[in-house]
Amino acid sequence: MDKNEQTNLRPKTSLIEELKIIFSSSRAFWLVNLVNFGEGIAYFGILTLLTLFLGGSVGMSDAMTGVSVSTFTGLVTLFMFGGGFVTDKYGVRKALTIALVLLFAGRVLLGFAEVPADMGLKPLGYAMSWAAIVLMALGSGILQPALYAGAKEYTNPKVSAIAFSFIYAIMNLGIVCENFISPFIRTDNPFIGNIHGLGWGIMGVFLTCTALTGLLLLLHLTLFTKKVEKECRVAVVDEEENKNKTWKQRLSEMPFRDMRFMWFIFILLPVQTLFAHQFLTMPDYIFRVFPAEVAAKFEWINGINPFIIVIFVPLIAMLTRHVNVFKMLIVGTSISAATTFLLVGSRPDLSLLIAYVILFSLGEAAWSSRFYEYVGDLAPAGQVGAYMGLAGLPWFMAKFTTGLYSGSMLAHFIPKEGVQHPGEMWLIYALIACVSPVGLLLTRKWIESGKQKG
């Protein structure tokens, strides 16, 4: 049975009925999203400023900073593959516990990486930063497939499109909150009337994110009990069968041999490089090219994306829940790639930058959660984590490979001092991203003609 036939056989319910189902979801589903929301704040609170922290406070070069941050994001996605197996073996609740412990430990360690350079301790700062990066990446790599496995296990399958969109949207709601709070913590600029920021700097933001992670761990251990996990599960999972499977058996059940599926997930890699540039390139682009008053509100500009995602991912998912997933992928990736050409002009323009962020975000909203829905539908109960991990491999390649050249591109096209040519840099990135929608369009019939097991 092919994918379209599966979709057509799925009972169609009204939007009102589906909303009633999703909002009456189990306690476990909302506890999963509590972690999802809090981690959206903590993870992106650190990631957004990590490039500036490593390049400034720790003293890394542009190239080393780019490689370090790219290694972090790449490892997150690489560890998602193993993290999926952890979720399938131990269950969502235990996987979230393991992830939060690792994240808390990594963020505590990162807080000690800012050591005095004049005392000859810079190599120690490097080592502590990299150790923190590995711990945080491992925690996030386990957390992500656990969240999406929770969306499938604790919600009615009739509302899978909306459930997966909620996971994506709630994570971005956390990012919206982070982008509003971060400048208040980091700077002492005036915000509302005579209210000034705290001026705690980047380290103040990092310490706040670390404290939040510790609070999430405490709430998770207290509220998400074994009893709640058992009572709230909707998807049937044969736990004994899963526990007794060897790693070889688990790998043999993955769709490695399905060339259509593998092409489907990897053709999205070029457009996914744009997501990597949001934290590898955009911070330095704004700080180096735009006036200081714009850079001071960098997190607010960066926060436009998650704000749009929060609103439009569920909305678009509701309105297009019966639309073929490939149509949404082609439309969404085309928008994301095409709008990058707005940054190609020779002179930086704040209005064009904001227009780019808005349109890019609408493109992301159109296809991002539908991709995870497609992968989740393919995966049988008890294997969602592993499938999500495999689907994340292109993210690993996009994030890791982008960081290998992003620092050098910054140094060449928009150096800290000297002549800058940001438009040429964004032209190259836009052309790379266009490969995804073109590739999907050209191979759509071949991909959709593939047979998948029901």
Are 430 and 344 spatial neighbours (Cβ–Cβ below 8 Å)?
yes
In a domain, 40, yes or no: yes
Cα(385)–Cα(84) distance, integer angstroms = 4
Are 298 and 180 spatial neighbours (Cβ–Cβ below 8 Å)?
no
In a domain, 241, yes or no: yes
pTM of the full predicted structure?
0.69
In a domain, 403, yes or no: yes
Give start and end residues of each alpha helix (H) in 24-159: 27-52, 62-90, 92-110, 122-153
- What's the CATH number where 248 sits? 1.20.1250.20
Backbone angles phi, psi at 195, to 5 degrees: -80, 120
Cα(274)–Cα(112) distance, integer angstroms = 31
The confidence score (pLDDT) of residue 385 equals 66
What is the tens place of the pLDDT at every residue in 137-189? 999 999 988 988 887 778 766 666 677 777 878 888 888 888 778 888 888 77
Total count of domains within the chain: 1
What is the tens place of the pLDDT at every residue in 213-267? 999 999 999 999 888 888 777 655 544 555 556 666 666 666 566 677 778 888 8
Q: Is the pLDDT of residue 329 over 60?
A: yes
User: For residue 169, what are the domain limits?
Assistant: 3-448
Cα(300)–Cα(180) distance, integer angstroms = 6
Are 367 and 161 spatial neighbours (Cβ–Cβ below 8 Å)?
no
In a domain, 454, yes or no: no
In a domain, 453, yes or no: no
In a domain, 364, yes or no: yes
Q: Is the pLDDT of residue 397 over 80?
A: no
In a domain, 28, yes or no: yes
**Tokens matching residue 180:** 């509003």
Cα(103)–Cα(434) distance, integer angstroms = 35
Are 342 and 288 spatial neighbours (Cβ–Cβ below 8 Å)?
no
More confident position, 297 or 158: 297
Backbone angles phi, psi at 207, to 5 degrees: -65, -35
In a domain, 167, yes or no: yes
pLDDT band of residue 5 (cuts 50, 70, 90) is very low
